[in-house]
Amino acid sequence: MAEVITVANHKGGCAKTVTTLNLGYALKELGYKVALVDLDSQANLTTCFGIDNPNSIETNIAHLMIAKIDEEPLPDKEQYIISKDGLDLIPSSIYLSVVDANLRLEMGSERILDEILEPLREEYDYIIVDTPPSLGSLTINALSAADSVIITVNPQLLAMMGLQDFLKTTKKIQKRINQKLSIKGILLTMCDSRTNLSKILSEQVKEAYNGVIKIYDTYIPMTVKVGESVYYGQSISEYCPDSKAGIAYSKFAKELISHEEK
């Protein structure tokens, strides 16, 4: 039975998409069956998966959500799951922005994604959901469907300022919609050890939340190799597994599994 993990933060530039992709690959390399879900209308995860034109995909997550809204049956999973190197993806497209608008008018819309993913749980060990940089209906759907959430935090001042707001929203969803939702932990990303600001803000996160929310020992360093891997439509483990970020994501996956086994 799959654990559904949402990777989220309502601020942009926190490496949500890169983390979703590379955590998925790292868990796959550890022998787990993994599916990724692109729940962002920008379709960056879909592009990172090597798909040059996401809008050309005949069936994606937007079509599935519309089918659920209209109470129509979903197509066979072979029509909407894309496989690559032993990893599966439910892709996205700009059409998801239309769905986002419709969700705001739909009664009980926060459970739509959960209804889509529930039949897939038996087939995977992990289902990892990438989210848009907002606290809108799509992110609420992702949190409502999840067993847990990983919060990616870029240790820069503006990114740090929104963390408390995101935690408040998560607690509301825990209380009102999804009581099984837990905060899996905070992953520090895009860390530049050369700057004092990055070091200071990283320490502030640890001081503020350590003991209340797990702060992962692994942090993801700032490196050009991540940007290059995205450009070539590859995970960092494919593009440059020996880079600092490649090693870090592999280490993070192992820390994630190790924490669950305790």
Residues 239-258 pLDDT 10s: 888 898 999 999 999 999 98
> Distance between alpha carbon 107 and the CA centroid of its chain, in Å?
25
Residues 36-67 pLDDT 10s: 999 999 999 999 998 989 999 999 999 999 99
**Domain covering 3-261 assigned CATH 1.20.120.550 in the classification:** no
Rounded average pLDDT over 112-124: 97
Residues 59-88 pLDDT 10s: 999 999 999 999 999 999 999 999 998 999
pLDDT at site 158: 52
Domain coordinates in residue numbering, the chain: 3-261
Q: What CA–CA distance (Å, rounded) separates 165 from 129?
A: 20
Entry pTM: 0.93
How do 34-38 and 182-188 pair as beta strands? unpaired
pLDDT at site 159: 54
The rounded percent of the chain whose pLDDT value lies above 70 is: 93
55: phi then psi, degrees, rounded to nearest 5: -70, -15
Q: pLDDT grade, residue 212 (50/70/90)?
A: confident
Rounded average pLDDT over 160-187: 89
In b/e form, how buried is each residue of 227-249, taking b as 16+ CB within 10 angstroms?
eebbeebbbbbbbbbebbbbbbb
Residues 130-156 pLDDT 10s: 999 988 899 999 999 999 999 998 876
Q: What CA–CA distance (Å, rounded) separates 194 from 173?
A: 37
pLDDT at site 161: 65
pLDDT at site 102: 86
Q: pLDDT grade, residue 220 (50/70/90)?
A: very high
Say if CB 54 and CB 82 are below 8 A apart: no
| Weakest mean pLDDT among 102-106, 177-181, 205-209 | 205-209
Q: pLDDT grade, residue 166 (50/70/90)?
A: confident
